[in-house]
Structures are given as C-alpha cells and as structure tokens.
Amino acid sequence: MKLYFLKITLLLFSVSFIGCKQNSEVVLTDKKCKSENTIHYATGLSITNHKGFSIVIVSNPWPKTTKKFTYILKEKNGIIPDSLQQFTTIQVPIQSIVVTSTTHVPSLEMLGIENSLIGFPNLNYISSDKVRTQIEKGKVIELGNNTSLNTEKIINLQPDIIVGYGLDNNNPTLDNLQKSGLKVVLNGDWNETSPLGKAEWIKLFGALYCKQVEANKIFTTIEKEYLAATVLAKKAASKPTVLAGDIFEGKWYLPSGTSWGSLLFKEANANYLWQDSKGTGSLSLSFETVFEKAKNADFWITSGQFSTLKAMSDANTHYNQYKAFQNKKVYSFCGKKGKTGGVLYYELGPNRPDIVLKDLIKIMHPELLVGYQLYFFEKLK
C-alpha cells in the first residue's frame, strides 16, 4: 500500500447514437440536439448538455486504453432518444454515492454535498474534517480495500452511484457490482497529466448532482488563480534546479518529463532536472544515476516518506551528500495530515493545483509571494 501511494504521489507531482459498442463515438443524429463539450483541459472527460439529459464520456480511465465509457445523465421528465438506450442511464440528481479514491472527496466537499457520501475503502486515508465528522457519526461505511472492495456491504448500501477507477482493464469487483444492478462511473482524474486537467473533473460530480453551474464556478476560480500564478512565476530573476523523489525499495522514484509534477515545476519557473525525459508517470532510477545528475540541485522536493532530515539520513546516509540536503533546502508535504493520518496532499493536491503551484513558487522564488504561507509543503528540519 505504501508503494501504491508513493507512485500516486509521483503521478501527482506525475459515442454515437449509431453504433452499439461501449467504445463507439456518440454522434447526434438530430442537429437540433448538438451541444458543445463543457470540458476544456481534461483529455479523458467530455460532458455535453441537452434538453433533459447530458452525455458524459470517459475516454481515458487508465493508461493506453482504447475504450470509451458513455453515461447518460437523465433529468426528471427528460426523454432519452432510442439510440441512446444502449448506454448506462443515471437518474440525476443523485442522492447517495460511494467513491473509491481520496481525490474524489474534495469535489464533494467543495460542492457542499459531502453528506451524500455513504461508503469508502480505507476510511483512515480521508483527511477532510467535514467528511471525518460524517465518519465519526457512522454515516460513512468502511468498504475494505480498493483491490478487494466489500461487495456485500456496497450492495446493502444501494448507493445511486459508485465512482471507481481502474489501473487497467481488470477490475472484477466493479464488474460484479454492475452485474448486481448497481451503477458504476469510472473516474480518470489520476490519469490526466495537466494540473488543470485533473482539477476539471469536479465537473463530473457537478453533472451527477445537477450542480454544473456551481462546479463551473469553482473550477473557473481555480483556473484563474492557477493562471495568475504562472504569470507571476515568469517574473522570477532566477531559475533554480530541482530534484524530486527519493529511494523506495532500492529504486529512486521521481516524476517523468511530461507528468503532472514535472509540469508544475515548469510552471513555477524551475529547472526540473528530468523535465526532458519521456513518459507521463514516474521514472525508476538507481541512486548513482540520480546522484550524478542532481547532487548540486538547488532544491529537493521529496516523495513524502520523511518528516525530518535526520529521518532521511537514517534511511540512507548518502542523502547528506546532496547540496540541497546540506543547505537545508529539502521540502515535504507529509506534515499536514487528517485526524487518522491521511496525508492532505494526496487528497486535495490534484484538485487544487493553484495552491500547489503557489507553494512551489514560494519555495523557489520567495520574493514573489511575500507574506504567503506554505499550505501543503514544509521545509524539513
């Protein structure tokens, strides 16, 4: 489980009305029904609104997939064309939900619908104070692990929707839940590589709850703050070098060149030393390879394994050979946690790239954000 969260961290820091198959394209035959996609940054999500219903297409739920999943969100008294009956129809607004990733939780809270959450796997990982209050009241049920969800409990809960995700095309638990008659919607936010692309998945929850206006307003604010921060970062007089990650089970994991994390370093006007590498996930390198290239890096953003410099050097005495370590310019996001130990960054970071970016700008170019206090990150002592 620890390796799973480490890799997720690096990823963070990484339909036709004609055609009956799930991966077919949606092509409206009635020209009067045409509508523009409301999604602008997320590459794996499409939402088009029509009179009485919306069409949601999830096209990138896991890496290198060729499948597309289409969901028809039917409003009260909405009429679904016969040519759409092949797809999963969901009555909206939904009233109850099960989600399976902590990254889904902030969307519920920002939309003010966290009370509709009735089940989640590994409750201890949730950091949100509002949701933790619901958990303490017994209103959110423990559902086991993502890889082995307690299907009996979920069936007993009868949620309107289960929001799941897949690392690949093999997810028998979700398949079995669908066979039992429950509705499953895949969420591919984790597979987006752009910061605003990840954050835009709040619009999926907005559509499920008929709160698209609210979701659009929230995202627009995040977008505005993020873009303003990128403009501010360009005013920096220097472009410091940055190292990321650290060693886990003998390998140094760090973001690849076109990953979420690498792009954030670039937007913060920093020179991430592996920004030219290929791939959207994480790199797995030897200590020697990393040391040769990054021993003189100005800053070091760790994976979140360690809370102090001593803990780092105790784990690997060679860490203290790095310039950033010697100059005490090592930063981590592991300090801010929920009541039961869940790391807030894992949960909220992908949903609030504007805050992550401001944190990085404050670290690399403190003169640009005078008075700003780091939210996710802290300097290791």
Nearest to 243 by CA among 282, 169, 195, 293: 293
C-alpha distances (whole Å) from 46 to each of 26, 59, 154, 304 are: 11, 8, 28, 33
Average pLDDT rounded to a whole number, residues 80-104: 95
Domain range for 295 is 233-379
pLDDT tens, 251-263? Answer: 999 999 989 999 9
**Local confidence band at 296 (pLDDT 50, 70, 90 cut-offs):** very high
Q: Which residue has the higher pLDDT, 10 or 173?
A: 173
Give dist(CA 18, CA 354) in Å, integer. Answer: 41
Answer whether residue 342 is part of any domain.
Answer: yes
Domains in the chain, number: 1
DSSP bridge partners of 97:
117, 161
Q: Return all residues near 119 (Cβ < 8 A) that are at least 6 apart.
A: 98, 140, 141, 142, 143, 153, 154, 157, 159
- Write the CATH number for 286: 3.40.50.1980
CB 344 within 8 A of CB 127: yes
Average pLDDT rounded to a whole number, residues 281-308: 93
> Given a cut of 60, is residue 69 above it in pLDDT?
yes
The chain-wide mean pLDDT, for the chain, equals 89
**Local confidence band at 29 (pLDDT 50, 70, 90 cut-offs):** very low
**Local confidence band at 169 (pLDDT 50, 70, 90 cut-offs):** confident
pLDDT tens, 112-157? Answer: 999 999 999 999 999 999 999 999 999 999 999 877 889 999 999 9
Average pLDDT rounded to a whole number, residues 350-357: 98
Average pLDDT rounded to a whole number, residues 238-246: 96
When mean pLDDT is compared across 54-68, 81-95, 187-201, the lowest value belongs to 54-68
pLDDT number for residue 26: 52
Give dist(CA 84, CA 43) in Å, integer. Answer: 23
Answer whether residue 60 is part of any domain.
Answer: no
46 residue type, one letter: S
Answer whether residue 263 is part of any domain.
Answer: yes
Answer whether residue 119 is part of any domain.
Answer: no
pLDDT more than 90, % of the chain: 77
> Given a cut of 90, is residue 10 above it in pLDDT?
no
Answer whether residue 228 is part of any domain.
Answer: no
Give dist(CA 321, CA 319) in Å, integer. Answer: 5
pLDDT number for residue 34: 58
Answer whether residue 77 is part of any domain.
Answer: no
Average pLDDT rounded to a whole number, residues 264-273: 97
Q: What is the pTM of this model?
A: 0.90
Answer whether residue 345 is part of any domain.
Answer: yes
pLDDT number for residue 66: 81
Give dist(CA 302, CA 285) in Å, integer. Answer: 15
Q: What is the DSSP letter of 89?
A: E
pLDDT number for residue 17: 25
Answer whether residue 354 is part of any domain.
Answer: yes
Give dist(CA 244, CA 256) in Å, integer. Answer: 10
b/e per residue 38-60 (b: at least 16 CB within 10 A):
bbebbebbbbbbbeebbbbbbbb
Average pLDDT rounded to a whole number, residues 164-179: 83
